[in-house]
Amino acid sequence: NQLRMKIGVMFGSPETTTGGNALKFYASMRLDIRRIGAIKTSTAVVGNRTRVKVVKNKLAPPFREVEFDITYGEGVSREGMLIDMGVEQNVIEKSGAWLSYRGERVGQGRENAKLFLREHPEIAARVEAEILQKHGLGAPAANEGGQEATEGPSAVPKPEPKAKSKNPVGGRPSKARARA
């Protein structure tokens, strides 16, 4: 929640968190959240570009990073995430400042492309479906002709129910029952 600077540190980060070592040991997850830039329109700042680094994680793989847009009054920008992941997965092509989807120009610059996806939710849904398909999630994306592809999994299988324990409380039997 608060950073302090260590004086005279030659190696490593000079930043430290207050409260001693107990917070560092007790926490199961620690995130470093930083603003890396402002999102501007022609007249004003409308949001921030944010980077989150996972410093410590006992629950999932640590040391991952993610960048996303936070727009004032809206929150995390869904369209911005679609553009970032679409460019990363080659669903959206980027040449210079222009972004295009399947040969159609979406916009010049991130903000214009985000506005286009916000105004055309059907295209945003197609981009999202293609991204999910490339990650192996969800139903296969539609073909060029508009028909759905038949290859790949279309639904996630449900896990089988666990066998019930004979112990009415559940879990392992108590020591008293084990001795009897």
Q: What is the mean pLDDT of each run of 10 residues along the chain (180 residues)?
A: 80 81 87 92 91 94 93 91 92 91 89 91 92 81 52 52 58 56
pLDDT of residue 6: 83
* Structure-token match 């980027």, residue found: 94
What residue ranges of the chain are covered by domains with CATH 3.30.250.10? 77-147
Give long-range contacts, CB 8 A cutoff, 24+ apart: 46-53: 46/71, 46/72, 47/71, 47/72, 47/74, 47/77
CA distance 12 to 26: 22
Please tell me the pTM assigned to this model: 0.64
CA distance 110 to 47: 13
Reduced to 3 states (helix: H, G, I; strand: E, B; else coil), residue 41 is coil
Q: Cβ atoms within 10 A of the Cβ of 131, count? A: 21
Q: What does CATH list as the number for 77-147?
A: 3.30.250.10
Q: Measured at the alpha carbon of residue 134, what is the angle toward residues 158 and 142, in degrees to the nearest 5?
A: 85
Closest CA to 87 of 130, 53, 150: 130
Closest CA to 109 of 80, 130, 138: 80
